[in-house]
Amino acid sequence: MQEIIVDIQIGPEEWIKLYNGAARDVHTTARDGRSVRFPARILSRFYLRDGIRGSFRILFDDQGKFASIERLQ
């Protein structure tokens, strides 16, 4: 299993665009400096009124496929 940790801030307006399909992927930089891209849909359960904000651990299998995501405290 591979993991990345990302810090994300997506405002409500931007999230609505992602949710409606204007873009399918989120592009960001992991804490270790790697550029990463992953499906926006994996963040859906973390959406709040002010968007999505926080630090997240994303796990991928050895083929680079999404396995799980969790919000870090």
Domain count, the chain: 1
pLDDT by residue, tens only, the chain of 73 residues: 899 999 999 999 998 888 788 888 999 999 999 999 999 989 999 999 999 999 999 999 999 899 999 999 7
Q: Count other C-beta atoms under 10 Å from residue 52's C-beta.
A: 22
Whether the model pTM is above 0.75:
yes
Q: Distance (Å, rounded) from C-alpha 40 to C-alpha 63?
A: 19
* CATH code for position 16: 2.40.50
Domain that includes residue 30, residue range = 2-71
- For the record, the structure tokens of 53 come out as 């904000």
- Res 16: pLDDT: 86
- Res 54: pLDDT: 96
- Res 9: pLDDT: 95
CA atoms within 13 A on the CB side of 72: 12
